[in-house]
Amino acid sequence: MSDTPAPNETGCALVVLVLELVPGSHAARDTLTQARAGELATCIAGDLARIEPRVAQLDLALVGAHYDPVELLRPGWPLHRELEQLAARAPGERGDGARVIAFGAHAGQLPATLAPAADYAGGALRLLPLVLVGADATAGAVAEVFENELIDRGMIRPETALLLQEAFGAQLEHAQYLTLHDVLAMIAGQYEYAGLAALWPLLETALLAPQAEEWLDLPPEPLAHYVDGEARIALFTPAAWRARYIVRGSTDEARLARHFERFQARQRQFAAILGAHGVPVNFIHCDSGQPEL
């Protein structure tokens, strides 16, 4: 049996509208009404069709909300996949043209699966997920064009920027359409700048190849192993930590205690970042300097 998809098989292209707010400012609203979400979706459809005309052959689905990067960049891309499933159930049939499908808040509330988390509100970088759905060949071709061109040609039109600012009550410094891979590259740079470069390969594996495995084994950083869909972090006793990380002969007990406290804080930091990205974390108690995770 051939593995070639049938001509009418549905495919999708996943896109992100990246909003960079003016430093020190915050969006007044993180969700839009149905009417406002519909206006924004129509505007965005026009933007994307200017970049790649075949977009007009695909359904566009979006939610009138913006999110912190950790809410979007999770294994399986849950916000994008939720949009894809909602679009598939949306009323109406696809005809010769494409549909523009927008999901807005009712009485200020979105369904729990789409609601931005209050814990991550207020950041200067906000992301709005977009899904383009249609014939597999067309969606695949559009996705390929976007991978190659959005980084250079993904700027929004002035009218879209104005609508975004009015609708969300935000001051935009920059706004651009990017692919998920583009966004990952951007966030990787931010994490490196924040001193988190060591953690990125493990997190990237969880996002892009969740069935694969990856080690973080770079002393003096915590020891972690991503495998079976979870990050396992070695939880050392003080003696085991010393056996693994400290050069023999160190005798300043107060100094060693401070180092161990900083090491534990780093473990908690890594665990918090992984958890925010939706990666399960499991601490494995280790009584030796050479644990098996």
| pLDDT tens per residue, range 146-200 | 999 999 999 999 999 999 999 999 999 999 999 999 999 999 999 999 999 999 9
Q: How many alpha carbons fall within 13 Å on the CB side of residue 253? A: 1
Where does a domain end: 193, 212, 235?
Answer: 193
Residue 134 and residue 273 in one domain:
no
Q: Quick one: 77 and 162 in the same domain?
A: yes
Asked if residue 141 and residue 30 are part of one domain, the reply reads yes
Last residue of a domain, one of 193, 226, 244: 193
* Residue 1 belongs to some domain of the structure: no
- The candidate with the shortest Cα–Cα distance to 39, out of 159, 152, 119, is 159
State the Cα torsion 277-280-284-290 to the nearest 10°.
Answer: -60
Q: In terms of residue numbers, what domain contains 268?
A: 197-286
Residue 132 belongs to some domain of the structure: yes
Q: Are 132 and 256 within one domain?
A: no
More confident residue, 139 or 2: 139
Residue 18 above 90 pLDDT?
A: yes
d(CA 205, CA 226): 8
Same domain as 254, residue 166? no
- CB within 8 Å of 186: residues ≥ 6 apart: 18, 178
Say yes or no to pLDDT of 7 above 60.
Answer: no
Q: How confident is the model at residue 268 (pLDDT cuts 50, 70, 90)?
A: very high
**Residue 3 falls within a domain, yes or no?**
no
Per-residue H/E/C for 81-108: HHHHHHHHHCCCCCCCCCCEEEECEECC
Say whether both 91 and 14 belong to one domain.
yes
Q: In terms of domains, do 187 and 212 share one?
A: no
Residues 128 and 259 both lie in one domain: no
pLDDT at 107 (0 to 100):
82
| Mean pLDDT value across the chain | 91
Which pLDDT tens digit goes with each residue over 193-207?
999 999 999 999 999
User: So what's the pLDDT on residue 251?
Assistant: 72
Domain total of the chain: 2
Residues 110 and 231 placed together within one structural domain of the fold: no
- Taking the C-alpha atoms of residue 206 and residue 229, their distance in angstroms, rounded to an integer, is 7
Nearest to 233 by CA among 242, 222, 241, 244: 222
